[in-house]
Amino acid sequence: MPDHDVLIRARGLTKKFGSFTAVDAIDFEIRHGEAFGFLGPNGAGKSSTMRMIGCVSPPTSGELSILGLDPVADGPAIRSRLGVVPQEDTLDVELTVRENLLIYGRYFGLSRPVISERTARLLDFVQLTDRAKDQVEPLSGGMKRRLTIARSLINEPEILLLDEPTTGLDPQARHAVWDRLYRLKQQGVTLVLTTHYMDEAEQLCDRLVVMDGGKIAAQGSPRDLIAAYSTPEVLELRFDVAEHEQAAGKLADVPAERMEVLADRILLYLPNGDAALAGVRQLGLEPLTSLVRRSTLEDVFLRLTGRRLED
């Protein structure tokens, strides 16, 4: 990959708040046109990293270069080329949908005709055209999120930063957001997002880093990470509470690459789940429920950190 394709580069990037180290000397490179994710649980340092990229949080140490510029010295120049969808909506709920875009366009120094033209297009894109004159306050969470995305695109950004873009949304609203983001990616916008949803990371990200405790635990494409840190299939077993521990002891005899005993389930990592389930039954164990599934990033995270993502 030629070097000039790298839009964001971090080396030893560190952010401390007093004695607390939120981001601990991480390295990553984000390339033009890709969708890059920071996957990790709450408190992993994802949002702190995003704020540093957004030039609203000076790094404590290390190097960070965005579009070839320095975020501390060139904040306004960089931000003029970024779009930001923050974790918490920062819409002006007392104004109308259209006024929110007008205000934001002005922040970027755009003229009124340009803002009007883009507003029409963007509201169409996020399916809010019929709400253009409505006040923002009564809109649903999903609509507000889509409006925030529209607002973040008013300056036609080269890089779109999305911090937990679908946290708090119902499944339908999440899919609507994913669909819009997928279209943007196809149009060549570089997406940088944080998430603690493994399905979101798998759906949207070309490449991602798994973060935990301020550090990067692993990086690669979702597929590569699963191949490197998990098995093709997972057998999930649920036993009666009374038998849970005893069953876990017996299952050690099943030839699996790895076993995870969670509070409510036992996970066996192996190449062929159906064959293994037959083996489990031969041991005289009868699970209440069993499920054979493909490995996901959740399994990768469990393997890397010993914890689940959404706990």
Interface with another protein (CB under 8 A): 2-7, 17, 32-33, 51, 54, 56-58, 67-69, 74-82, 84, 86, 88-95, 99, 102-104, 106-110, 121-122, 124-125, 152-153, 155-158, 183-184, 187-190
Q: Which is nearer to another protein, 27 or 74 (CB)?
A: 74
Residue 237 CB, shortest distance to another protein, in Å, is 45
Between 43 and 291, name the residue whose CB sits nearer to another protein.
Answer: 43
**d(C-alpha 86, C-alpha 89), whole Å:** 6
Place of tokens 């010993």: 306
What is the closest distance, in whole angstroms, from the C-beta atom of residue 168 to another protein in the complex? Answer: 15
φ and ψ at residue 213, rounded to 5 degrees: 55, 35
Measured on CA atoms in the order 56, 179, 102, 97, is the torsion positive or negative? negative
Residue 12 beta carbon to another protein: minimum distance, rounded to whole angstroms: 20
Residue pointed to by tokens 């004695």: 19
User: Which two structure tokens, joined as six digits, stand for 310?
Assistant: 């959404």
Report, in angstroms and rounded to the nearest whole number, the Rg of the chain calculated over CA atoms.
22
Q: Would you say 146 or 303 has its CB closer to another protein?
A: 146
Task: Provide, rounded to whole angstroms, the least separation between the CB of residue 175 and another protein.
Answer: 17
Which CB, 86 or 142, lies closer to another protein? Answer: 86
Q: Which is nearer to another protein, 135 or 272 (CB)?
A: 135
- Three-state DSSP at 278 gives helix
Closest to another protein by CB, 7 vs 237, is: 7
Q: Which residues touch 268 (CB under 8 Å, ≥6 apart)?
A: 234, 235, 236, 237, 251, 254, 256, 258, 259, 276
Distance separating alpha carbons of residues 248 and 99, to the nearest angstrom = 59
Q: Please report how close the Cβ of residue 178 comes to another protein at its closest, in angstroms.
A: 15
Measured between alpha carbons, how far is residue 211 from residues 67, 81, 154, 202, 208 in Å?
A: 23, 26, 31, 15, 9
The least distance separating another protein from the CB of residue 79, rounded to whole angstroms, comes to: 5
